[in-house]
Structure formats: C-alpha cells, structure tokens
C-alpha cells in the first residue's frame, strides 16, 4: 500500500489530503484530509512557519511516501501570486526534508486526469473526487477537494507510467 500526499497550495488556506493505493487490489481510499489555515493579520514569515510546521505534522502523522502539489497558474493580482509562490516553496521544502518524492501538476492536468476535460468546474472536480474515493459527502472546502484531486491525479499518472514501463520490458 502506498500513501500519497496531495497539496493545494495557498497562503490563507492550504488544502492537504492523504490517499492510499493498494497495488494488489487496485483500490484507492482517502486516509485523511483537511486544511491548514493562517490568519490574514499574521506576519508573512509567521504564516509560512505555521504552514511548514503543520504540513510536517501531517507528514509525520500519516507517513506518505510521495507527494503531489498543484503548480501555480496565472493570477491577476501579483501580490497574490507572490504569497502563494512563497507558500509553495515552504510546502516543497517540508516535503523535501521529510524525504518525499514530489510531483507537480498543472490545474489543467489535474482536471483532465479526473474528468477527461481540462476546463472542468470546481463542482465537477468535487463530484469526481467524491465518486472515485466513494466518499459519503463532498469535502467541505474547495481546497481540501483540490488536494484530493491532486493526489488522485498523481496516482493516475503513476499507474500509467507503471503500465508503460511494464509494456516496454
């Protein structure tokens, strides 16, 4: 059984999710998911430290072996993109110091992997995540659903690479 940590980066809210894939039964399940929230009035350095500490706690608690993180996409507000980029750096660092292999996926790649359509809506992604993981309810926050989607995208990519590798032997 392999555990994958999915991360939806942000400054105010970071979505995270751990999914498990059993390579023998080819089943996937959600182990845990949630979010890291930081207060807007908190200084940026403190927020980034909180994000690093909280993600490290998630990694320690759920022991994933690999991580997948959403890449940045274009923001209209330069201040927003800088903050998210800083948070992304801290998240990548937390994964690296905890020896997780990290894969990065664009929003387009994630949407295509889950729905077959690169312009899928948030609602369509939530529906796909809920169905694929057989969840009893849709994740409460978009950020959490997005983190689950990132992890599922990575599993899909991982399985395809495995198939390609085994067929070329």
* Residues assigned a catalytic role: 8, 70, 143
Euclidean distance between CA atoms 128 and 130, whole angstroms = 5
Euclidean distance between CA atoms 156 and 109, whole angstroms = 11
The encoded tokens of residue 95 equal 């994964």
Closest-CA residue to 111 (of 159, 68, 66, 70): 70
CB atoms within 10 A of CB 42: 12
């Amino acid at each position: 059984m392999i555990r994958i940590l999915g991360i939806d980066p942000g400054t105010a809210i970071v979505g995270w999710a751990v999914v498990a894939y059993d390579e023998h039964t080819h089943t996937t399940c959600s182990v845990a998911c949630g979010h890291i929230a930081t207060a807007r009035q908190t200084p940026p350095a403190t927020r980034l430290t909180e994000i690093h500490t909280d993600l490290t706690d998630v990694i320690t608690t759920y022991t994933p072996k690999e991580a997948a993180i959403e890449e940045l996409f274009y923001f209209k507000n330069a201040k927003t993109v800088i903050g998210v980029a800083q948070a992304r750096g801290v998240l990548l660092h937390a994964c690296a110091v905890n020896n997780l292999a990290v894969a990065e996926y664009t929003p387009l790649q994630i949407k295509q992997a889950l729905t077959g359509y690169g312009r899928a809506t948030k609602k369509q992604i939530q529906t796909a995540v809920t169905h694929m993981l057989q969840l009893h309810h849709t994740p409460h926050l978009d950020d959490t659903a997005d983190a689950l989607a990132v992890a599922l995208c990575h599993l899909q990519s991982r399985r395809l690479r495995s198939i390609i590798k085994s067929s070329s032997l």
